[in-house]
Structure 1
Amino acid sequence: MLAAALACGAASAQSAEAAAAPEAPAAPVENSSLDAPMFYQLLIGEMELRAGRAGSAYEILLDAARRQGDEALFQRAVDIALQARAGDQALAAAKAWADAKPLSVAPLRYQTQILFALNRPAETAVPLSTWLQKLPVMERPGLITALPRLLQRMPDRAQALALVEKLVAPYQSAPATRLPSQLTLGRMHLANNEAPKALALAQAAQASDPASAGPALLALEMLPATPAAEAVVTAYLARPDAEPAVRLAWVRALTQSQRYAEATPQLEQVTRERPQLPDPWLTLGALRLELRQPREAEQALLHYVELAQAPKGADGSAAATTPTASRPATAPDEDDDADGDAESGGSATTGLNQAWLLLAQAAEQRGDLKGAEQWLAKVDNPQRLIEVQARRATMLARQGKIKEARAMIRAVPERTGDDARAKAMAEAQMLRDVKRWREAAEVLAEAAGRFKDDVDLIYEQAMVEEKLNRFAEMERLLRRVIELKPEHPHAHNALGYSLVDRNVRLPEARELIQRALELAPGDPFITDSLGWAEFRLGRHDEALRLLRQAYGARPDTEIAAHLGEVLWAAGQKDEARRIWREAQARDAQNEVLRETLGRLKVGL
């Protein structure tokens, strides 16, 4: 109001000047309701605040707000108390504001937020309920949807759920608020570890509004722990008007479970519907690379590079016309200065560096080592130096230049302890790639001595020990991983699979693998291990079901070897040969596939 008074004075002066000019008659003056005593009260309050006496300023301005009934003054008093970290005084001012202005929702919002800040969530029921009642009908769904976020700081999840149930009860049948009420209750049940109730609410919400993306997004939050939620997601994505953002979220869920074969067609659909969005092309390239489809990966990655370097539209998509991705894989020398303005670490440069690394990997898969080096030369990010040098070292090692490869990794500067650990992991992985198991074991053992109880290092040690047929040491290391990190799915799976592969302690192996699958539902490699265990236990039908599921999610060569063997044993030899041929076309040098075909004396 002080600012308004000063502005009013300035306006009056300007009006007087305008009145002096006969050609411009003065506009009518609207006098402020601010009288002299109130003016000086506000002035004194602001002066007290400027002098560092926040308590006195708060009292003066709150009194002025009560006497004047002005919302801006109430808010000023609340803000002064909050800045002074006087939560109780801020709450008192917000309550006085609500009493003075019963139709206003702003003081109710302040009360709610202050109560949460004061860790008094149980007292929020009244202001939240009143806030919901006073909101316009069209704004009410937004607040209902925001309730889980508002209440996430409540430590007692059951209490938070009970509060939300009470708050939304009056709105569950109204058309405008039925869907947000169902989704909000679903999220609260999920936060309270009641996934079946959350799923039932997501299903009910989808039945009431099949076109809404909300039920699918809620179902995605339940994955992978609640596989039945997939049906809600896939039902929504079957609609022609499904939002690409939901499809991309589904892709993320699939890739986190390594279900790359299922994720790929989803991404392909996104790239057809929104071809100017760069990021889906990058992800598609990475997935195709994982599926050992280097040429298809290159096409997608080159699309990404062209889009990432093109001028951007308002929605973040490329403004240029759809690229053709017709550049050959041997053209990595083109000028890439288009991202020069983002060298400070922007997302465009980050994505391009990732694309260069993936293109290098694709070229390497095709045997084009010169092209791979050209792509690596484009990576201009010190943070990725170890990754780049490790890639170069692996290419050297595959040419038999082991000494030079190891020296290349070891020459990378170590700025932090994490760099030293990353270098050890990179060197060990390079040695594993060329089957130098003993040297890899030495590197990992030395690193494990420097980084005590590092779960990842111990796990990698165990994998190398298995290759050296030192199974007792492998088991000791894996059990140490499980001791340090009981929820480590791959340690359970690796130990179980090793037992199955050696055809020993099969019931124990099956229990270990089942526990791994509980920790990582849907993981195709763990599903493959369980299928292999069932086969060794003589349960051929269940083995075939599991292995088909695993291969459908990720057509990996080793999974194909197992599935083919079970089909062969079941007399389905034509299908077995077909699957083995597919696998051989992707990776003819795979040891598991070659051993399987040799042992069964099968020629393709």
Structure 2
Amino acid sequence: MLPRLARALTGQPTRLSTRRRAATPIRLACAAALASCLSLPAWADEPPASADSKEAEGPIANSAMDGSVFFDVLAAEMEAQNGDLGEAFGRMLATARRTRDEGLFQRSIEIASQARAGDKALAAIKLWRATVPESTTALLIQLRVLVQLDRTSELSEPIRTLIEREPANERSATIAALPRFLSTMADKRKVLTVTEQALAPYAKAEATRTAVRTALGRLAMAADMPETALSQARRGMAEDPSAPGPVLLALEMMPKEPAAEALVQGYLARPDALTPIRLAYARSLDQQQRIGEAAVQLREVLAKQPDQTAAWLSMGAYMVDLREPAEAIRSLEQFLKQANNLKSDANDGGEGDDPDGKHDVRGMVELTYLLMSQAYEQRGDLRTAGQWLDKIEPARVDMPTLTRRASLLAQSGQLAQARALVREGAARDEPDARARLLAEAQLLRDQRHWTEAYELMLGGLRQDPNDTTLMYELAMVADRLNRYDDMEALLRRVIALKPDDHHAHNALGYSLADRNIRLDEALALVKKASALAPHDPFIVDSLGWVEFRLGHHDEALKLLRRSHLARPHVEVAAHLGEVLWVMGQKDEALKIWREGQAREADNDVLQETLTRLKVKL
């Protein structure tokens, strides 16, 4: 649990905020006074209490309010009610100062806020702090008002004072909460500078220096200063190699600052590396489509902690994606054995949560059935694949499940029935006509009915000429039909409509490189795609293939190894193997090709490569 001030900074309920809103004797008396102006007191119609009942109620607490204070507060409230906020503010603030009542100070700030008078609110807070120097509530409110008013230059002193007042064992948590608290301020670089000044005394203390490095690193990230953020992460890890804060900072930086990954990997090489950080690293790799590397991390987690139930499902999904059905089935079976460990919520139709409240158990089990079906389909066992799909209740069938069922029908020779199923089958996610058309086209492509797929999507595009998804998919089929002019025209149209579409840039650049034509243009297109999606392993593969066509074998090998490590797809294996073969590393090439063939023996790219190079595996 966060310390109280850290919770206050991050907006979570705290004892402090509860106390701040509690009614003081003066505030209670004011409320009672206002009620008496409008109606009879609540006890007017009740019989007098007996002496015995009064004694049972305990001793009477006399109000701290004298007559003068009472009428000043009442007058201020009435002025506020009548819209005279300036007079109300002045009267309330003067009364607060005289009585040293924190509730009245807060009320004066509320009135200033109601009047949109930020300077008056800050003046009231400064007077409050001068009158009640020990008030932490005043400090917190001052910080909130400064953030709301975007008064960056005034933050340093209250931040430093707030941390000074924290117990020593809670300071790090409060420091860690600062980046989120300050995230709405406009001048991010100035925020970083001011916060660095405020935290200077704590950057040297052993107990707080790691929290300072992490907080300043996050503020530097927000200020678009990746080198500064990386420097803070490095210093934090050097000062305390086992601390999780700097490595989590490095994880957050990875998508924009590749050099940060080395810090994460260095931490994970430690024997005391925390499992949640390894899982977070796996998720980051997944988000970058680096499925092969994510699977490596999950294997390590599961070898040490096989009770990580959700990780078994993730591993199963990765193995299906990588066409490793045997390992996929083992992982998914393990998930189903442990699924009961996840909490179930009987109140919402079987959906439930894990201990952290993050998972829909029923949905996870249904996804497992779908993945099991795919894994058995990859093994060629269509009967068992269908049995796994049968475990999903008819009312719970969605479009992905319907598509898998249609795929099984098509593979068993019932293509017409499969097409009818995706066109007309009931699905709970209520797919529209476009989604059904794309699913039907994919069925035709899987069965190598390229012309029919082309005509189907062309008809859909005629109905919506600006549908870039249909354009892209139609271009991919045109490529298979060797209709290269059509493909190029379609992809250029996608780029014109969506200049940031990395798939279109990559596909056009790869096609040019694969045909060994206009290689300079191919390189420019793929580099543009890489700038838009720098971590996509298929774009890295395209870059490697262009470099190979240009004769830059060493650079090609480096890029293709990186792509194959991230996602060992059979087409990447075909490219990597060819580069190795040409460079004389034939044993490794054969090994890479055999691994690719084991995943997808009938892949066209692999078979064309082996035939052209006259290689038999």
TM-score, structure 2 normalization: 0.81
Distance 1:74 1:354, change over 3 A: farther
Match in the other structure for 1:576 = 589
**Residue 485 of structure 2, aligned match among 454, 472, 476:** 472
Using a 3 Å threshold, how does the CA distance of structure 1 residues 353 and 88 change in structure 2: closer, same or farther? farther
Partner residue, 1:153:
184
Matched, 1:372 2:402: no
SS in 2 for 1:227: coil
Q: CA contact under 8 A between 2:398 and 2:427: conserved in structure 1?
A: no
Distance 2:169 2:394 in 1: 49
Mapped partners of 1:123, 1:461: distance in 2: 58
- 1:439 alignment counterpart: 452
2:166 aligned with 1:131: no
Indicate conservation of the 8 Å contact 2:399/2:431, yes or no: no
The one-letter code matched in structure 1 to 2:182 is L
Q: In structure 1, how many angstroms separate the alpha carbons of the residues matched to 2:394 and 2:90?
A: 56
Distance in 1, matches of 2:151 and 2:65, equals 40
Distance (whole Å) between structure 1 residues aligned to residue 575 and residue 363 of structure 2: 38
Given the superposition, is the C-alpha separation of residues 372 and 2 from structure 1 closer, same or farther in structure 2, using an over 3 Å criterion?
farther
Amino acid at match of 2:251: L
Give the 3 Å change call, closer, same or farther, for CA 194–47 of structure 1 in structure 2.
Answer: closer
Distance 1:337 1:112 in 2: 44
What residue identity is the alignment partner of 1:263? A
Aligned partners of 1:105 and 1:135 also within 8 Å: no
1:430 aligns with: 443
Task: Show the counterpart of 1:275.
Answer: 306
CA distance in 2, matches of 1:405, 1:574: 43
CA distance in 2, matches of 1:599, 1:245: 47
- 42, 67, 72: which one aligns with 1:37: 67
Residue matched to 2:18: none
Task: Tell whether the 8 Å contact from 1:171 to 1:181 is kept in structure 2 after alignment.
Answer: yes
Per the alignment, do residues 186 and 346 of structure 1 end up closer, same or farther by CA in structure 2, a change over 3 Å counting? closer
CA contact (8 A) 1:38 1:64 kept: no
Aligned length: 572
> CA 1:279–1:228 in structure 2 vs 1: closer, same or farther (change >3 Å)?
same
Quickly say closer, same or farther: Cα 1:41–1:393, change in 2 above 3 A. Answer: farther
Tell me how large the CA RMSD over aligned residues is: 3.8
Tell me if 1:141 matches 2:150: no
The equivalent of 2:407 in structure 1 is 394
Query: Residues 77 and 365 of structure 1: is their aligned pair in 2 closer, same or farther, counting only changes over 3 Å?
Result: farther
The Cα offsets for residues 449-482 of structure 1, whole Å up to 9 and x where unpaired, read as 4555444333222212211212122222222333
Match of 2:36 in 1: none
Give me the whole-angstrom Cα distance separating, in 1, the residues matched to 2:237 and 2:50: 62
Q: Which residue of 2 aligns with 1:298?
A: 329
Report if aligned partners of 1:5, 1:32 keep a CA contact under 8 Å in 2: no
1:342 maps to 2:372: no
* Matching residue's letter, 1:149: R
Paired AA for residue 215 in structure 2: T
Q: Distance in 2 between matches of 1:36 and 1:399?
A: 92
Counterpart CA distance in 2 for 1:532 and 1:278 is 39
Match of residue 545 from structure 1: 558
Counterpart residue number, 1:69: 100
Choose 90-99 or 402-411, whichever is displaced more. 90-99
Give 1:53 deviation, angstroms.
7.6
Superposed CA deviations along residues 394-442 of structure 1, whole A, max 9, x for unmatched, are 2222223222222212225699997333223222222222222233233
Letter in 1 for 2:334: H
Moved more, 490-499 or 164-173: 164-173
Moved more, 65-74 or 87-96: 87-96
Amino acid at match of 1:556: H
| Structure 2 letter corresponding to 1:37 | G
Corresponding residue of 2:341: 310
Deviation at 1:47, TM superposition (A): 8.6
Q: CA deviation at 1:521?
A: 2.8
SS at match of 1:139: helix
Equivalent pair of 1:115/1:124 in contact (CA under 8 Å): yes
SS in 2 for 1:407: helix
**Aligned equivalent of 2:9:** none
Contact 2:468 2:497 in 1 (8 A): yes
Q: Contact 1:360 / 1:371 at 8 angstroms: preserved in 2?
A: yes
Which residue is 1:190 aligned to? 221
For the 8 Å contact 2:505–2:528, the answer to whether it is kept is: yes
Is 1:515 matched with 2:528?
yes
- Structure 2: how far apart are the matches of 1:546 and 1:34? 77
Deviation at 1:18, TM superposition (A): 9.4
Check whether the contact 1:255–1:263 (CA below 8 A) recurs between aligned residues.
yes
CA distance in 1, matches of 2:425, 2:511: 35
Q: Which amino acid aligns with 1:569?
A: V
Between 444-453 and 196-205, the greater mean CA deviation after superposition: 444-453
* Displacement of 1:447: 3.5
**Residues 240 and 416 from structure 1, CA distance in 2 versus in 1: closer, same or farther, beyond 3 angstroms?**
closer
Cα distance, 1:154 vs. partner? 2.2
Counting aligned pairs with the same residue, the percent is 46
Whole-Å separation in 2 of the counterparts to 1:237 and 1:107 = 43
TM-superposed CA distance for 1:308, in Å, is: 2.7
Tell me the residue number matched to 1:167. Answer: 198
Q: CA deviation at 1:78?
A: 4.4
- Tell me, in whole angstroms, the C-alpha distance in 1 between the residues paired with 2:114 and 2:374: 54
The aligned amino acid for 2:259 is A
Deviation at 1:527?
2.2
Q: For the residues of structure 2 that align with 1:125 and 1:398, how far apart are their CA atoms? A: 68
1-structure distance, mates of 2:385, 2:135 = 64
Amino acid at match of 1:113: R
- Counterpart CA distance in 2 for 1:85 and 1:450 is 53
Decide whether aligned partners of structure 1 residues 38 and 377 sit closer, same or farther in structure 2, where only a CA change above 3 A counts: farther
Matched, 1:408 2:417: no
Match of 2:496 in 1: 483
Q: Distance in 2 between matches of 1:566 and 1:219?
A: 34
Amino acid paired to 1:397: A
Instruction: Quote how far apart the aligned CAs of 1:389 are.
Output: 1.1
More deviation in 500-509 or 378-387?
A: 378-387
Whether the 8 Å CA contact 1:373–1:392 is kept in 2: the answer is: yes
Q: Name the amino acid aligned to 1:278.
A: T
Task: Please give the secondary structure, in 1, of the residue aligned with 2:206.
Answer: coil
Q: What displacement does 1:523 show?
A: 2.9
- Higher alpha-carbon deviation: 55-64 or 417-426: 55-64
Structure 1 unmatched ranges of 5 or more: 313-317, 319-335
Contact 1:414/1:420 (<8 A) preserved:
no
Kindly state the Cα deviation for residue 262 of structure 1 after the two structures are TM-superposed: 1.6
Does structure 1 conserve the Cα–Cα contact (< 8 Å) formed by 2:406 and 2:418?
A: yes
Task: Tell me the residue number matched to 1:357.
Answer: 370
Question: Which moves more between the two structures, 375-384 or 268-277?
Answer: 375-384
Question: Once the 2 structures are TM-superposed, how far is the Cα of residue 232 of structure 1 from its aligned partner?
Answer: 0.3
Residue aligning to 2:19: none
Counterpart of 2:39 in structure 1 is none
1:337: Cα distance to partner?
9.2
The match for 2:3 is none
Matched, 1:456 2:469: yes
**Stretch of structure 1 that moved more, 39-48 or 140-149:** 39-48
Provide the residue aligned with 1:226 in structure 2: 257
Q: CA deviation at 1:71?
A: 2.6
User: Cα distance, 1:188 vs. partner?
Assistant: 2.4
Conserved? CA contact 2:233–2:250, under 8 Å: yes
Partner AA of 2:212 in structure 1? S
Worse-matched range after superposition: 461-470 or 183-192:
183-192
C-alpha displacement at 1:65, in angstroms?
3.5
Tell whether the 8 Å contact from 1:309 to 1:339 is kept in structure 2 after alignment: no
**Cα separation, 2, equivalents of 1:286 and 1:436:** 28
Pick the aligned partner of 2:131 from 100, 111, 126.
100
Partner of 2:6: none
Q: Tell me the TM-score normalised to structure 1 length.
A: 0.83
Conserved? CA contact 1:41–1:64, under 8 Å: no
Change beyond 3 A, Cα 1:5–1:493? closer
Distance 1:256 1:557 in 2: 21
CA contact (8 A) 1:220 1:253 kept: yes
